[in-house]
């Protein structure tokens, strides 16, 4: 379970102090939570803080009982490796590694033996329908395929928390639908935190958090279409 308490992030821009996020308090339950809001509302800042990629000016993030914001850089890296998976908007695959090697990368960090890494990576790629593309470099894959590789990579160590930042932002309609299906399927058994502009995508989550001006405006439970 991931909990944010009075999460605040301020930074200086020249002489001016900018408040990117202020007093955000929320406990993320299992299932999909979408975070929506206009540009500059603090969505990316919030995700950075929740994932321990950045540190808050005030408040804290708790991973179960672990205060993520009090850990060192390397301890936060280890926490991310063990507990979190990421799917970014820009795919962010390692360009010199093939699809299966990209998926196996977190397993390498976790110290898995080579044969197990390969088997797990190939199984995950099969799960996202890319077993035929396992040995291709990222530049030989389409945008949708790259995003599915990124999802497989995020799931490599079966993390309880999955972050997705605009995961369908760069995809065409068909690839977007494929990706959304896979993402929400993966999010069923874990805490999925989805940052998006896309209200249609957000509506598929179990709850939506609306941010504006760095503040949590409201929480909404979308009406499901029967």
Which of 5, 8, 57, 105 binds other proteins (CB under 8 A)? It is: 105
For residues 137 and 203, which CB has a smaller minimum distance to other proteins in the complex? Answer: 137
- The torsion region of residue 158 among left (phi > 0), alpha (psi -120 to 50) and beta comes to left
Q: How far apart are CA 190 and CA 66, in angstroms?
A: 18
Query: For residues 150-169, which are near other proteins according to CB under 8 A?
Result: 153
For residues 50 and 204, which CB has a smaller minimum distance to other proteins in the complex? Answer: 50
The answer to the question of residue 108 lying near other proteins (CB under 8 A) is yes
What is the pattern of x (binds other proteins, CB under 8 A) and - over residues 71-90? --xx--xx-xxx---x-x--
Q: How many residues bind other proteins (CB under 8 A)?
A: 30
Smallest distance from the beta carbon of 88 to other proteins, in angstroms? Answer: 7
Which of 110, 123, 181, 217 binds other proteins (CB under 8 A)? It is: 110
> Strand ranges (DSSP E) for the chain?
2-13, 16-28, 31-36, 58-63, 66-67, 84-87, 161-165, 191-195, 207-212, 215-220
Smallest distance from the beta carbon of 43 to other proteins, in angstroms? Answer: 11
For residues 9 and 176, which CB has a smaller minimum distance to other proteins in the complex? Answer: 9
**HSE (CB half, 13 Å, CA atoms) of 88?**
8
The answer to the question of residue 18 lying near other proteins (CB under 8 A) is no
Smallest distance from the beta carbon of 109 to other proteins, in angstroms? Answer: 5
Q: How far apart are CA 42 and CA 19, in angstroms?
A: 9
Q: What are phi and psi of 52, to 5 degrees?
A: 75, 20
Smallest distance from the beta carbon of 169 to other proteins, in angstroms? Answer: 14
- Give pairs for 47-52: CB < 8 Å, separation 24+: 47/163, 47/165, 47/193, 47/195, 49/4, 49/7, 49/9, 49/21, 50/2, 50/4, 50/163, 50/193, 51/80, 51/84, 51/86, 51/163, 52/76, 52/79, 52/80, 52/84
The answer to the question of residue 57 lying near other proteins (CB under 8 A) is no
Which of 12, 65, 96, 111 binds other proteins (CB under 8 A)? It is: 96
Binding site for other proteins (CB under 8 A): 44, 48, 51, 53-54, 73-74, 77-78, 80-82, 86, 88, 92-97, 101, 104-106, 108-110, 114, 117, 153
């Amino acid at each position: 379970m991931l909990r944010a308490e009075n999460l605040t992030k301020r930074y200086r821009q020249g002489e001016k102090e900018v408040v990117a996020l202020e007093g955000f308090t929320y406990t993320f339950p299992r299932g999909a939570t979408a975070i929506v809001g206009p540009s500059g509302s603090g969505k990316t800042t919030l995700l950075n803080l929740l994932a321990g990629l950045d540190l808050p000016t005030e408040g804290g993030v708790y991973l179960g009982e672990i205060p993520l914001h009090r850990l060192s850089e390397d301890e936060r890296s280890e926490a991310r490796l063990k507990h979190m998976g990421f799917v970014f908007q820009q795919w962010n695959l390692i360009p010199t590694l093939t699809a299966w090697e990209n998926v196996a990368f977190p397993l390498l960090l976790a110290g898995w033996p080579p044969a197990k890494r390969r088997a797990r990576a190939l199984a995950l790629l099969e799960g996202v329908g890319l077993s035929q593309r396992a040995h291709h470099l990222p530049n030989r894959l389409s945008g949708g395929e790259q995003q599915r590789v990124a999802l497989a990579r995020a799931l490599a160590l079966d993390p309880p928390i999955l972050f997705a930042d605009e995961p369908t932002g760069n995809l065409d309609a068909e690839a977007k639908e494929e990706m959304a299906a896979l993402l929400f399927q993966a999010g069923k058994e874990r805490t999925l935190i989805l940052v998006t502009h896309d209200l249609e995508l957000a509506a598929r989550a179990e709850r939506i958090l609306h941010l504006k001006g760095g503040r949590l405006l409201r929480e909404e439970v979308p009406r499901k279409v029967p």
